[in-house]
Amino acid sequence: MPKTKKTYKKVEQPDFPKWNVLLKDACTIEGVVSDCYSLFRDYSVGNQMLAFWQCKKRDIVPGPIGTYRFWESIGRHVVSGPGSAIYLSQPVTWKKTETDASGNEASVQHTSFKYLPHWFVLSQTEGEPYELPELPGFDLGNAIVSLEIEPVEFTSTQGNCMGYAEGRTFAVNPLGKHQMATTMHEIAHIVLGHTDGQGVSDLKNRTPRSIMELEAEATALIILDQLGDKDHKESRGYIQAWYKDKEVPEENARRIFRAANQILRSGRTSYRRDDNGTTV
C-alpha cells in the first residue's frame, strides 16, 4: 500500500511587533530580559524577546529553543507540525551588480533581515531528557579586548560626572556608586558610534530628549539585566520617565538591540550556539 504524505493547513506568517515595542517591554518591565536570557540564552537579545513574545501570544510554554535538526541531534523530535515553528529574524545576503559614478561595474553584497520559521521550544518536542546547560559567563576584560577599546584614568573635575567616553576610550569615576552600570553605559556610547570624532560625557542631569543618552542607557540596561546585575534601578527609572512623553524610533530600537548583543557576545567566556544552531 503506497504511503500517503500528511498535509497541514498553511499558516500565515504572524504579525510581529515592531522592535521598538519589544524594546519598551525590555526596558520598562522588570524581569523580562533576564527571563528571556535564561530560556533562550544561545540567541541574540532581539530574537530572545521575539521568541518570548510568540510563546506568550500562542500559549506555548517558553523554554530552550532550537532547530528541528538540533533537537533531532540530541534524541528529541518535534511533535508540532508545520505552521507551529517559532520565527526568528535572520540575515539574508545576496549580491547585485551595480555601476558606480565612473561607469565601473562591481558585485555588491546586500543584507536584509527576514522572519524565518525554523525553531521549536522544548515543550514542542519529546524524547530523551534535556538538561539545560549552564549560562555562559561574561568577562569585562574579554569584551574590552574584543571590542578594541581602552579604559583610561578618570580626570574630569566635574563633581557630577560619573563617566565619559571619547574615541575608543572610556573613563569611569572611581568614586561613583554605580561602577558597572556606568562602565556599560560608556562602552555602549563607543559601540553605538557616538564617540566617532567626539567625546560624550555621562552627566547626572542628562537631557531627557537626548537620543544618544537613551541609546546608551537602554543598551546598558539590557546588558545588566542579562548579567543579573541589580545595579541599574536608576537606569530603568530614567527610561520609564522618557517613555512618558515619547516612543523610541524603530531604527534606534534596532541599534540598541544590536549594540547590546555585540557587547554581550564580545565578553562571552564559554561556547554557545548562534542563531542557526552552530556552536561558536
Please check the confidence at residue 46 and state whether its pLDDT lies above 60.
Answer: yes
pLDDT band at 42 (very low <50, low <70, confident <90, very high): confident
pLDDT band at 113 (very low <50, low <70, confident <90, very high): confident
Phi and psi (nearest 5°) for 172?
A: -125, 135
Letter string b/e over residues 30-60, b meaning 16 or more CB atoms within 10 A of that residue's CB: eebbeebbebbbbbbbbbbbbbbbbbeeeeb
pLDDT band at 270 (very low <50, low <70, confident <90, very high): low
Q: Tell me the pTM.
A: 0.80
Distance CA 213, CA 188 (A): 10
- For β-strands 105-121 and 86-99, DSSP reports them as antiparallel
Mean pLDDT of 216-245: 85
Amino acid 280: pLDDT: 44
What is the residue extent of each domain of the chain?
Answer: 19-127, 140-266
Q: Which residues contact 236 (CB under 8 A, 6 or more apart)?
A: 27, 28, 30, 221
